[in-house]
Structure 1
Amino acid sequence: MGCDGGTIPKRHELVKGPKKVEKVDKNAELAAKWKYCALSQEKLRRPIVACDLGRLYNKDAIIEYLLDKTAERPNAEAVVHVRGIKDIKELNLTDNPEWKGERRNTKGDIYEDMHCGMFICPVVGLEMNGKHRFCYLQTCGCVFSDRALKEVKTEICHKCGETFKMEDVVVLNGTKEEVEKLRKRMEEGRAKAKTKKSKKSKAAETVSAPLESKEDTQAPPVDLTENSQQNGGESSQSAEAGPSGSSSSSKDSKSATSSTTKRSFQEMTEKSEVFKSLFTTHSSAKRTKDQTSNWVTHTPYHF
């Protein structure tokens, strides 16, 4: 059978087979990781920051995300682990002298190298374009190639001179295995920080509790000295006076104890009725139900 134009169709034109799996271009994937922000998908521009998993972001995009986490963003999954500014580090990058900007070949008469990176390693000179493995230090934020850290083994930063440990080295845009290792290390560090905070809070509580108990148990020193002086004077007087002095001291002690005990003014016989009527415990201050009014003034004792 032929078609309208007298052509003979082939089998692949009539029978539809399974679709071929689309392969991701490696060059495009590398450009997306090393030249574009992982959150906003915009081109990387200074200041550039990195998280504990080694992903690159524009600092303004991270700040916008932290200010409004409810807004819908296409790549919000890449920033779920970022809780605040402390979880990111601003990178100290070295510019590539061969980088001429975005419009470096407007005429089209010069070969354009698509793998040319904006930044390089300050020690070896390798370009940060995805072909080479790069790391950054969490202490100072300086970026180096993995080759530089392996060839020049030291615990001092090659660029700023700050000390660091191997635990502070984070791989930028690593493989899935490397990202999982970094995630485990990040979770362990956060768990340690929580335990330290809890221990500090408990220690502060234990320190404040005994201080409060001491303040409650301790008596004012002035009263003690006065009582000691009084007791000393009474004892000296009793020693000199003999039995007569002992009887007088016993009377004084009884009067002192009786004065320290609290009594109501209505029970005091030495006070007059006029003085007792000044207080609300007096019988004249108490009113019957007939004397009380239905309205209340600013003072409950208004007559």
Structure 2
Amino acid sequence: MGCDGGTIPKRHELVKGPKKVEKVDKDAELVAQWNYCALSQEILRRPIVACELGRLYNKDAVIEFLLDKSSEKAPGKAASHIKSIKNVTELRLSDNPAWEGDRGNTKGDKHDDLQRARFICPVVGLEMNGRHRFCFLRCCGCVFSERALKEIKAEVCHTCGAAFQEDDVIVLNGSKEDVAALRGRMEERRLRARLQKKAKKPKAAECASKLDVGEGPSRAKPEEPSPDSQDRKAAPAPRNAAANGGSSGKAGKPPSAATKRSIADSEQSEAYKSIFTTHSSAKRSKEESAHWVTHTSYCF
């Protein structure tokens, strides 16, 4: 019972049994989570941001994702919860002085130590390679190991001194339970912000209506005449006005002070009076005046 070439088949080649579940290499998974962007699958490079679920992204990849609103591009599962740039926080990471990167393995003949990471905890000194739990603060973006926050308990950030609450601490690349808890906190936070925004709109409308109601009657209200003006209207006209009105036969003649005066008689400066043609400097004698045949005659 042989095949071509004299080979003898084995049982597992002829009988199909249940498929074995393929196990993901933990080291490869950790390298992918902590060294590559969750959206573009490119190597993480500054500026690095993190979402409210604790995933790491390149900031330029998030901006391109938000700007591309075409229907052809389906939103990725890793960034479907990101609606604006405000939903991510730029991280303040501490460089690892012992990390050389690709400089020490240019020829490819050197072993790459996967335990070595680019960033470390600035308080304890643990490397951020996935072996230890790390978290960041939403208020300032500083990154620490969870051990540092537990050992040195404080209500302010260890690096910048910004005050934070328990709700601001977000675990980076946490387990499924951590992601579920973070998702619930994210939904509660967004619902609270939405309700606050709705509550502000009626208050603004009420303030605007009160201002309109308060200013309306004051504008429409006519000015009441003062008692002095009523006395002036009721007072009889002076005798000289009555005499002038009787002699001339014209009622409401303006007083002599309101008559028109020429600019020459006004109390203005000579420079101002010289602008007008009634000034003496503008008048010419007959010898200086032009003949009527000229094109631009200047006659008075």
Normalising by structure 1, report the TM-score: 0.71
CA contact (8 A) 1:39 1:75 kept: no
Gaps of 5+ in 2: 236-300
Q: CA deviation at 1:217?
A: 2.5
**How do residues 25-44 of structure 1 correspond to structure 2 at under 5 angstroms?**
25-44=25-44
**Change in CA separation of 1:72 and 1:132 when aligned onto 2, cut-off 3 Å:** farther
**How do residues 57-72 of structure 1 correspond to structure 2 at under 5 angstroms?**
57-70=57-70
CA contact (8 A) 1:155 1:165 kept: yes
Match of residue 76 from structure 1: 76
Q: CA deviation at 1:230?
A: 6.5
Q: CA deviation at 1:115?
A: 2.2
CA distance in 1, matches of 2:123, 2:3: 68
User: Does residue 1:208 correspond to 2:208, yes or no?
Assistant: yes
| RMSD between aligned residues | 2.4
Match of residue 195 from structure 2: 195
**Change in CA separation of 1:77 and 1:110 when aligned onto 2, cut-off 3 Å:** closer
Moved more, 101-110 or 17-26: 101-110
CA contact (8 A) 1:133 1:171 kept: yes
CA distance in 2, matches of 1:76, 1:130: 23
Q: CA deviation at 1:11?
A: 2.1
**How do residues 125-204 of structure 1 correspond to structure 2 at under 5 angstroms?**
125-204=125-204
Per-residue CA deviations over 1:17-47 (Å, capped at 9, x if unaligned) read: 2222211111111111100000000000011
CA distance in 2, matches of 1:49, 1:215: 50
**Change in CA separation of 1:214 and 1:184 when aligned onto 2, cut-off 3 Å:** same
SS at the partner of 2:163?
A: coil
CA distance in 2, matches of 1:7, 1:173: 50
Per-residue CA deviations over 1:217-239 (Å, capped at 9, x if unaligned) read: 3356662234x6667889x99xx
Moved more, 210-219 or 167-176: 210-219
Instruction: Give the aligned length.
Output: 235
CA distance in 1, matches of 2:199, 2:74: 40
CA distance in 2, matches of 1:151, 1:113: 28
Normalising by structure 2, report the TM-score: 0.72
Per-residue CA deviations over 1:158-186 (Å, capped at 9, x if unaligned) read: 11121111111000011111111111111
CA contact (8 A) 1:40 1:75 kept: no
**Change in CA separation of 1:229 and 1:88 when aligned onto 2, cut-off 3 Å:** same
Q: CA deviation at 1:5?
A: 4.3
The structure with the largest helix share of the pair is: 1
CA distance in 2, matches of 1:57, 1:143: 15
CA distance in 1, matches of 2:104, 2:174: 30
CA distance in 1, matches of 2:127, 2:77: 29
**How do residues 287-298 of structure 1 correspond to structure 2 at under 5 angstroms?**
none
The amino acid across from 2:148 in the alignment is A
Moved more, 168-177 or 11-20: 11-20
**Change in CA separation of 1:142 and 1:61 when aligned onto 2, cut-off 3 Å:** same
The amino acid across from 1:224 in the alignment is E
CA distance in 2, matches of 1:199, 1:90: 30
The amino acid across from 2:156 in the alignment is I
**Change in CA separation of 1:198 and 1:76 when aligned onto 2, cut-off 3 Å:** same
**How do residues 192-271 of structure 1 correspond to structure 2 at under 5 angstroms?**
192-218=192-218, 223-226=223-226
Q: CA deviation at 1:191?
A: 1.1
Q: CA deviation at 1:79?
A: 0.8
Gaps of 5+ in 1: 238-303
